[in-house]
């Protein structure tokens, strides 16, 4: 449980850290540095990776995954954070589990429990509440 709370705190604070970094550096430089640092960590941990079951032609899927998840995701996140507050970004990101569950329902035919559905409705309500309560301020992100 402690590891989950720590992971949530680190993940949630990333929006605050990014907003602070964007006030000092251009967003795409910050994202480039973030990706470069992450790549170095992965290179240092390379020998702990375990056995890789690579098959010919997997490079196309891996390249597509790399382009979408870290690259495009973080670029769009950086551009979006310029136009919103860290708290709103965190609430909107809270919809990701809902999108994953919907994808699993459609493509894998997984069932969604009542507890999960209640959590999704709470996340949606929070996003709507923060979005409607936001006030745009010239030259700054909205609150």
Domain ranges for the chain, please list them. 11-45+56-82, 85-143
Residue 131 in tokens: 């979005």
| Top-confidence residue, 131 or 120 | 120
Q: How far apart are the first and last CA of the chain?
A: 31
C-alpha to C-alpha distance for 26 and 81, rounded to whole angstroms: 12
pLDDT tens sequence across 66-112: 888 888 888 888 888 887 777 777 777 777 888 888 899 999 999 98
Global pTM?
A: 0.60
């Amino acid at each position: 449980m402690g590891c989950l709370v720590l992971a949530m705190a680190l993940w949630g604070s990333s929006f605050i850290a990014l907003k602070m970094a964007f006030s000092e550096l251009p967003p795409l430089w910050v994202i480039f540095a973030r990706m470069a640092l992450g790549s170095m960590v992965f290179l240092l941990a390379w020998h702990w990776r375990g056995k890789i079951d690579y098959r010919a032609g997997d490079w196309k899927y891996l390249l597509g995954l790399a382009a979408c998840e870290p690259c495009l995701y973080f670029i769009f996140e950086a551009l979006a954070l310029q136009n919103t507050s860290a708290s709103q970004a965190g609430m909107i990101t809270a919809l990701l589990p809902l999108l994953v569950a919907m994808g699993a329902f459609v493509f894998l035919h997984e069932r969604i429990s009542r507890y999960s559905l209640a959590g999704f409705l709470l996340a949606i309500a929070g996003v709507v509440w923060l979005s409607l309560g936001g006030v745009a301020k010239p030259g700054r992100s909205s609150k």
